[in-house]
């Protein structure tokens, strides 16, 4: 089988930042409006009053300090509490494709590649803007890539699951160069009106060039030693939005049509799963957790990442071993571990070992073990 390398990465950051203080101010204004609207029902004991949020609550619960978003005004409007996107005609590049193209061009430039040298485009994200035509095919056309493209969705593990598909395509000879893009417009599926989760997500797009080692010309190359995926069904993270909703005569704005989770259950169940998954993957490749120079983990919760690393190494967790980008970007679904890889690999040396790992709804866990060349 051919050796495979990651030879370029790209990152699109939206133009707007929402700080925790700004978010809390908007949420608390919304809560006050709802309490005023439901004052009689609250007084009668029919409903509970909404409880406000705070910067301290958010940072203690998650480690998040801010997030990037494509639209800030709509999110911070207490009368709206969701982004506002202008609809685009069918002959205009869609929003999701637009940010993927920007990240993809960055990754191609880093790899020293042109769009025409790409054999496949995989668009992997927690949500797709539409059902068809595939976002990947639109991105493929915009970049001038050849071959084929397809979309895939494995929630917050979409990027690592797509990486395995890219690696396998190259190893079996059906492609020589694959572009993986992860356009995560998470602000559109987050319930900004729910105190327990209104602070979790941010928007971003990442991109990776995966190619045969013998075609790679970039100075910064990471040999993929192995990939490993696992899924286990759970309802603890769920979103019921889908094409059949209109046939069910349900409220399209109902609470179950956006992101929701049982956070404590997720923490308790996913941490040991993720730690065991990484340890087993490394063992299959003849390595131990202590030999890994850096872990680029899914960026959902500071405490979760710290506990995963403690279970693996038994020692204290520092930013050097497991870099955190969560504080700046918030949870960016499948893009989180790729952002960490993009921003925190330049200081590693040839021969250093690293693990990219994501974990999310499904449950789904994906890991990629790579070595710097």
What rounded mean pLDDT belongs to the chain? 97
What's the rounded Cα separation, in Å, for the pair 101 and 138? 9
- For 3-14, the three-class secondary structure string (H helix, E strand, C coil) is CEEEEEEEEECC
Which of the residues 156, 177, 197, 357 is marked catalytic?
156
Q: Are strands 120-124 and 148-152 parallel, antiparallel or unpaired?
A: parallel
Q: Which helix H or strand E contains 230, and what residues bound it?
A: strand 222-231
Report pLDDT digits (tens) over 98-141.
999 999 999 999 999 999 999 999 999 999 999 999 999 999 99
Domains of the chain: 222-372 (3.40.47.10)
Predicted confidence at residue 315, as pLDDT, reads 77
Position 235 pLDDT exceeds 80: yes
Predicted confidence at residue 280, as pLDDT, reads 98
Predicted confidence at residue 204, as pLDDT, reads 98
Predicted confidence at residue 316, as pLDDT, reads 73
- Other beta carbons less than 10 A from residue 60's beta carbon: 11
Predicted confidence at residue 193, as pLDDT, reads 97
- Whole-number Cα distances in Å, 26 to 32, 137, 151, 169: 10, 38, 35, 47
Q: Are strands 353-360 and 294-297 parallel, antiparallel or unpaired?
A: parallel
Quick one: CA torsion of 74, 194, 268, 64, rounded to 10 degrees? 40
Predicted confidence at residue 81, as pLDDT, reads 97
Write down the residue that tokens 């430039």 correspond to.
Answer: 109
Q: What angle do CA 244, 332, 186 make, to 5 degrees?
A: 35
Report pLDDT digits (tens) over 136-195.
999 999 999 999 999 999 999 999 999 999 999 999 999 999 999 999 999 999 999 999
Write down the residue that tokens 């999110």 correspond to.
Answer: 75
Predicted confidence at residue 313, as pLDDT, reads 92
Active-site residue, 123 included: no
What is the full DSSP assignment across 46-63?
Answer: SSPPPPP--HHHHHHHH-
Residue 147's region, left for phi above 0, alpha for psi from -120 to 50, else beta, is: left
- Whole-number Cα distances in Å, 352 to 20, 177, 180, 333: 36, 24, 23, 27
Report pLDDT digits (tens) over 308-350.
999 999 877 789 999 999 999 999 999 999 999 999 999 999 9
Report pLDDT digits (tens) over 182-191.
999 999 999 9
Contacts of 56 (CB under 8 A, 6+ apart): none
What's the rounded Cα separation, in Å, for the pair 127 and 96? 10
Predicted confidence at residue 1, as pLDDT, reads 79
224, 369 Cβ separation under 8 angstroms: yes
Q: What angle do CA 109, 323, 350 make, to 5 degrees?
A: 60
Q: Give which of 34, 24, 120, 31 is closest to 76, Cα–Cα.
A: 24
What is the full DSSP assignment across 50-97?
Answer: PPP--HHHHHHHH---EEEES-STTTT-TTT-S-------TTS--HHH
- Give the DSSP letter of residue 156: B
Q: What is the pTM of this model?
A: 0.96
Split at pLDDT 50, 70, 90, the class of 33 is very high
Contacts of 290 (CB under 8 A, 6+ apart): 313
């Amino acid at each position: 089988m051919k050796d495979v390398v990651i030879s370029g990465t790209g990152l699109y950051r939206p133009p707007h930042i929402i700080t925790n203080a700004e978010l809390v101010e908007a949420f608390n204004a919304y809560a006050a409006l709802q309490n005023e609207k439901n004052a009689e029902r609250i007084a009668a004991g029919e409903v509970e009053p909404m409880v406000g949020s705070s910067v301290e609550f958010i940072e203690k619960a998650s480690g998040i300090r801010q997030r990037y978003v494509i639209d800030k005004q709509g999110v911070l409007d207490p009368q709206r509490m969701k982004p506002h996107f202008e609809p685009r005609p069918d002959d205009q590049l869609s929003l999701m494709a637009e940010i993927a193209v920007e990240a993809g061009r960055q990754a191609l430039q880093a790899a020293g590649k042109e769009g025409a040298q790409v054999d496949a485009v995989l668009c992997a994200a927690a949500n797709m803007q539409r059902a068809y035509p595939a976002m990947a095919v639109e991105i493929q056309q915009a970049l001038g890539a050849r071959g084929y493209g397809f979309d895939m969705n494995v929630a917050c593990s979409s990027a690592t699951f797509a990486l395995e598909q890219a690696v396998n395509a190259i190893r079996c000879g059906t492609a020589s160069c694959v572009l993986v893009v992860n356009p995560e417009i998470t602000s559109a599926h987050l319930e900004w009106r729910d105190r327990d989760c209104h602070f979790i997500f941010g928007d971003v797009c990442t991109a990776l060039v995966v190619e045969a080692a013998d075609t790679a010309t970039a100075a910064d190359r990471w040999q993929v030693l192995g990939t490993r995926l696992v899924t286990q069904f759970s309802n603890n993270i769920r979103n019921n939005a889908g094409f059949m909703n209109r046939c069910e005569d349900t409220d399209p704005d109902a609470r179950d049509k956006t992101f929701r989770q049982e956070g404590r259950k997720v923490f308790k169940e996913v941490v040991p799963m993720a730690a065991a998954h990484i340890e087993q993957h490394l063992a299959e490749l003849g390595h131990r957790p202590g030999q890994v120079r850096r872990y680029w983990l899914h960026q959902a919760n500071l405490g979760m990442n710290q506990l995963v690393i403690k279970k693996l190494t038994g020692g204290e967790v520092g930013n050097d071993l497991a870099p955190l980008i969560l504080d700046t970007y918030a949870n960016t679904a499948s893009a989180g571990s790729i952002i960490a890889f993009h921003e925190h690999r330049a200081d590693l040396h040839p021969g250093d070992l690293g693990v990219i790992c994501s974990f999310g709804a499904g449950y789904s866990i994906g890991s990629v073990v790579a070595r710097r060349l």
